[in-house]
Structure formats: structure tokens, C-alpha cells
Amino acid sequence: MNRRSAALLVLSGSGAAPGDAFVWSPSLSLEEISRTSPKPHRHIRRDDLGGRAVPGITGLRTLAQLPEAGLAVLRLGPPPTARWVFRGIRAMAVFSGRITLVDGEEAKLVPAGSLALVGDPSATLYFEAGTDAALAVALAASGFVAALG
């Protein structure tokens, strides 16, 4: 059985801080979530350092990993002049500083307050922090790959 989760990443608003993530598992449709407002199974706070550090990569933490649902929530930063390589990232929101994402041949500058959607999560994505204050939260596949780049 292939179970999925629905995940929402808070960009702005009240009741949660920008960068918090809400996860419903098993998946409810966004229509059902907006219509019935069920309580999420997990509320993951952006500033929660209770997640798991990714070995050998300073500034990268797995805040939640739900293999049964195919989802991971990552906190990136603040990185010390980070250059990372990822596979499995689906979306990334930048909350402070700026980052550059290189997806194939195209480099995209993503400033604070922006959301980047990844067209092909199975492709290699290069990440470079534009400032030491860069902070982003990403939704990824539970089997994401991260390495220094």
C-alpha cells in the first residue's frame, strides 16, 4: 500500500510562524482540509532543533521523516556559506537571506519571502546560500539525498 501525507508549509499568517509545517497522514485532499479544518497529525516548528542533524552537513536538519508517507521536512540553515546537492526536494521556502538553486542548467535566485517549486524532484538540485543568514524549510521525499557540493 502506498500511503501519502498532505503537508502545508506556512508562509505567513497567524496561529503559526512562517516556516512551520503541518502534516496530515494518511492524506486528506486540500479541499477536505480547507472544508473540515481537521487538526494536523504533526505541527513541526521551523525553529525546532529537535530534528535529526544530517551527518557531515552543517546547517541541515531533518525535522520530520515519515517513510510510510513518503515525506520529509527539512530545515536548511543558517548555513555557513553552504553549497549542497540534493535529490528528492519538492518545494523550498526561504524565510531569511537568499539562496541560489541550480536545477539543470538554470540558476534561480530565491530571496527571503519566496517559495520555489521543483519541477522534477528526482533530478539533482544544487543549493548555494547567498548569505550566512539564509534560512529555508523544504518538503522532500522521505528518501531524499543530501551531500556537500
Query: What domains can you pick out in the chain, each with its CATH number?
Result: 6-148 (2.60.120.10)
Q: What is the pTM of this model?
A: 0.79
107-138 burial, b at 16+ Cβ within 10 Å, e below that, comes to: eeebebebebebeebeeebebbbbeeebbbbb
Longest dimension (CA), the chain: 43
For residue range 91-137, what is the model confidence (pLDDT) as tens digits?
A: 888 888 888 888 777 888 999 888 888 888 898 999 888 767 788 88
